[in-house]
Amino acid sequence: MRINYLAFKAIYLHEMDRFRRTLMQSMLSPVLSTSLYFIVFGSVIGSYVENIDGISYGSYIVPGLLMLTLLTQSISNTSFGIFFPKFNGTIYEILAAPISTLEVVLAFVGAGATKTLIVGVIIFFTSTFFVEVSVKYPFLMIFLLVLVSFTFALFGFLIGLMSSNFEQMSIIPTLVITPMVFLGGSLYSLDMLPPFWQTITYFNPVVYLINGLRFAFYGVSDFNIWISIVSMVAFLFICITVVSVLLKKGYNIKS
């Protein structure tokens, strides 16, 4: 199948231009939030927790905070990206254009993932001003960052596609993703939990993502790294399948 690169480029650059227009808001909010986490958790709680697995507490929470940013930003970027064309009616121009479903998804998801990675890089460098950060496996870190950004950008596209109003779009990121990140070992090690809550945590899929990224940073993890990678790839293919089916049927778009 031949890809219409001009159509792909038009949608991609349009989404990136929207990101440029709100650059200060898009950058400032994550940086301030991350700084507050380090000031409150890294400084205050870190003074009581000397180290975890031989790593200072402030450094230990960096992968968790980075994962929190990746998940929330990638979902919000693409969910709003596809919802606004539905909201103002410009989605019909896209549907009428000579562009395939695959190209539409790739353009929106690619732009959303790109914006997320830019914010993620800024968060990473912001953390270096507060704590000492080392990356033991840089290529694994890059692979996981890209994989998570694209997968959850696709998941955000799915949320935006299925949502009929702004309230529905905020349900998953606010009431599901954020609690799962905080309860997934982003600010603590699972060994610090009682046995019962450790067992409960095993059913939280985000815990495997955080541990995978933490392994890339420091070489320590509560799980095998392949569990993180396989679960992420599986979720990626699930999202691809569902989005493809819904778009072809015109779910919540053509009706």
Indicate if the pLDDT at residue 246 is higher than 60. Answer: yes
Classify residue 221: in a domain, yes or no.
Answer: yes
Percent of the chain with pLDDT over 70: 93
144 part of a folded domain: yes
Whether 139 is covered by a domain: the verdict is yes
The C-alpha atoms of residue 73 and residue 169 are separated, in whole angstroms, by 13
> What's the confidence (pLDDT) of residue 146?
92
Q: Which residues, other chains included, contact 126 with Cβ-Cβ below 8 Å and sequence gap of 6+?
A: 31, 34, 35
| pLDDT score recorded for residue 251 | 62
Whether residue 205 lies inside any domain: the answer is yes
**Contact by Cβ (8 Å): 181, 206:** yes
Q: Is residue 125 one of the residues assigned to a domain?
A: yes
For 126, how many CA atoms within 13 A lie in the half-sphere containing its CB? 24
How many domains, in total, are found in the chain?
A: 1
- pLDDT attached to residue 224: 80
Residue 254 domain flag: no
With respect to residue 255, please indicate whether it lies within any of the assigned structural domains. no
**pLDDT at site 91:** 72
Domain range for 219? 5-249
250: left (phi over 0), alpha (psi -120 to 50) or beta: left
Looking at residue 1, its pLDDT comes to 53
- Highest mean predicted confidence (pLDDT) among 125-129, 140-144, 221-225: 140-144
Percentage with pLDDT > 90 across the chain: 6
Assigned domain for 78 exists: yes
* 252: pLDDT strictly greater than 70: no
Interval 47-79: pLDDT, tens: 677 677 788 888 888 888 888 888 888 888 888
pLDDT over 80 (residue 43): no
pLDDT, tens digit, for every residue of 191-239? 878 888 888 888 888 888 888 899 999 888 877 888 888 888 888 888 8
Average pLDDT over residues 176-203: 81
- Collapsed DSSP state (helix, strand, coil) of residue 56: strand
